[in-house]
Amino acid sequence: MNSTTPKIRYAAAIKPGMETFWSLCLLVSILLVIQGCKKPEEEPKPFSSPGLQLITDNLVSPLSITEAPDGSKRMFIVDQVGKIWVIAKDGSRMPIPFLDISSKMVTLNPNYDERGLLGFAFHPNFKANGRFFVYYTARPRPGGPQPGTNWNNLSRVSEFKVSANRDEADINSEKFILEEDHPQGNHNGGTIAFGPDGYLYISIGDGGGSNDNGIGHVADWYTVNTGGNGQDVYANLMGNILRIDINSGSPYGIPADNPFVSKPGKDEIYAYGFRNPYRFSFDMGGSHQLFAGDAGQVLYEEIDLVKKGGNYGWNVKEGTHCFSTVDNKTELASCPMVDTAGNLLIDPIIEMSNVNNPRGGLATTIVGGNVYRGEELPQLKGQYIFGIFSRSSGVPNGKLFISNPPKSGPWSYTDLALKNYPDNLGVYLKGFGQDQKGEVYITTSGVAGPNGTTGKVFKLANVSVKGS
């Protein structure tokens, strides 16, 4: 049959004046058929805001929470005042602390203090060997950084073992692993965590004070700025993230590929150039990257993606900007981009202005968090969650943020809106934690210092809100 025959017959059948109408109908029908054959595009899924589910309260100053890697489903909370609390599988808190080392620590200032029990990590084989580690600030050793001046405290990493009662530690099993004399009372760092390589990572601040100078802060290669524990890798371990092997040596061994092995520099150093890397974490998924929140001086706060041997700039730079010890509120016009060993001064992936920045800012102190790898909140999968201690000095108004990794360049971030806390937390944000499933937790307190009983631990979760 000739292909034009149907068209001729159809045209002949159309009454005068109806041709245009039926032609349009035919065209629309053809377009609808074509459209129906196309694969429908997926509409973007609406972002469902998570909320906060209370895990426990009546703590003093909780700084972190982690799950025991032994299948017991128990969560362990670090309280700055020297206690570790156990949350049982049923959600109840044990009446007696798992560990209480308050008598071994310096006396804390109740109004505000960066010392105390700061870090806690289970040995990866805890289920079999019962070993765990803590970081705390002990009373200082005799002497000081110079004649007539005493050290403020002793940064100490210790090993303990669990007792026959798995909900209590053996307080007499303490073994000192690593100690570093600390000249001032702030910038202690304090996170300890096992990396995917099985080594123990430790963050230690630059020694305290301001600008990384003064008593106990050695001179470094950058003579424009005084002091510089952050840039020094020879005299002490301050201003660094360390990596040690606690399964060999006495009291520990050094991983053979640490950057300063067989060359000038402290063998324990993994990365350097930090001011106060208070909280860091490893991504449980992906390539297991190491994220560290480094508290700034007065202009900029930062989140760093830490690499082995990396120099993160302090006190040559604060964030991405050239720093001045003469006037820490005025950026220098220029500064070196590499150190004297040729190592690049690595910029942060996230930079946030401090509230004291003359140009305006948001954060008093940045608090490093975790990459979400849980199942309850799929909309957060693979995103980095972090926060700020507060948005203004002396006001309990911490805030959470979320950042999605870009293909390259700096990471953007946005507010992490919460269903039941739509504007701000209404408390100080003090830390984060993560369980074995990758769910993320936050630790908070209604007061800035380690006192009272306003400390709480929350889990990021799907929550229902009345009226929503």
| DSSP letters for 315-331 | TTEETTEE--SS-TTS-
DSSP 261: T
**Distance between CA 189 and CA 415 in Å, rounded?**
25
How confident is the model over 150-174, as a mean pLDDT? 98
Strand locations in 276-382, DSSP E?
279-282, 290-294, 300-306, 317-318, 321-322, 350-353, 366-371
User: Are residues 430 and 390 in contact, defined by beta-carbon separation less than 8 angstroms?
Assistant: no
Per-residue model confidence (pLDDT) at position 49: 86
Per-residue pLDDT at 366 exceeds 80: yes
CA distance 159 to 144: 26
- 260-275 burial by CB neighbour count: b if 16+ within 10 A, else e? beeeebbbbbbbbbbb
User: What's the pLDDT band for 465 if we cut at 50, 70, 90?
Assistant: low
pLDDT at 355: 97
The first and second tokens of residue 93, run together, are 């808190």
Confidence of residue 14 (pLDDT cuts 50, 70, 90): very low
Structure confidence by residue, pLDDT tens digits, 394-406:
999 999 999 999 9
pLDDT band at 421 (very low <50, low <70, confident <90, very high): confident
From residue 314, how far is each of 49, 280, 319, 371, 397 by CA, in Å? 36, 17, 8, 25, 28
Residue-wise pLDDT tens digits, 295-352: 999 999 999 999 999 999 999 999 999 999 999 999 999 999 999 999 999 999 999 9
- Mean of pLDDT values over 144-165: 96
The pLDDT of residue 409: 87
The predicted structure's pLDDT at residue 40:
42
Q: 360: pLDDT confidence band, cut at 50, 70 and 90?
A: very high
Give the percent of the chain with pLDDT over 70. Answer: 89
Q: Above pLDDT 90, what percent of the chain?
A: 86
Q: Which residues contact 5 (CB under 8 A, 6 or more apart)?
A: none
Q: Is the confidence at residue 439, as pLDDT, over 70?
A: yes
- Tell me the average pLDDT of the chain: 91
DSSP state of 81: T
Q: Rounded distance, CA 411 to CA 79, Å?
A: 32
The predicted pLDDT at position 466 comes to 58
CB 52 within 8 A of CB 432: no
Tokens standing for residue 376: 């309850």
85-110 confidence digits (pLDDT tens): 999 999 999 999 999 999 999 999 99
Q: Identify the pLDDT of residue 383.
A: 97
Is residue 304 within 8 A of residue 279, CB to CB? The reply is no
Instruction: Please list, in sequence order, all residues whose beta carbon lies within 8 angstroms of the beta carbon of residue 242, skipping any fewer than 6 positions away.
Output: 178, 201, 202, 203, 204, 268, 269, 270
What confidence score (pLDDT) does residue 464 get?
Answer: 75
**Residue 136: other Cβ atoms inside 10 A:** 26
Which residue is it, tokens 């974490």? 281
Q: Which helix (H) or strand (E) holds 18?
A: none
DSSP 377: -
**Taking residues 116-123, what's their average pLDDT?**
98
Angle at 264 between CA 262 and CA 269, to 5 degrees: 85
Q: What is the pLDDT of residue 171?
A: 98
Average pLDDT (214-219) is 96
Query: What was the pLDDT predicted at 47?
Result: 58
Q: What are the angstrom distances between the C-alpha of 307 and each of 176, 289, 442?
A: 27, 8, 26
Q: Please check the confidence at residue 1 and state whether its pLDDT lies above 60.
A: no
Task: Give the pLDDT mean for 215-242.
Answer: 97
Q: At 247, which amino acid appears?
A: N
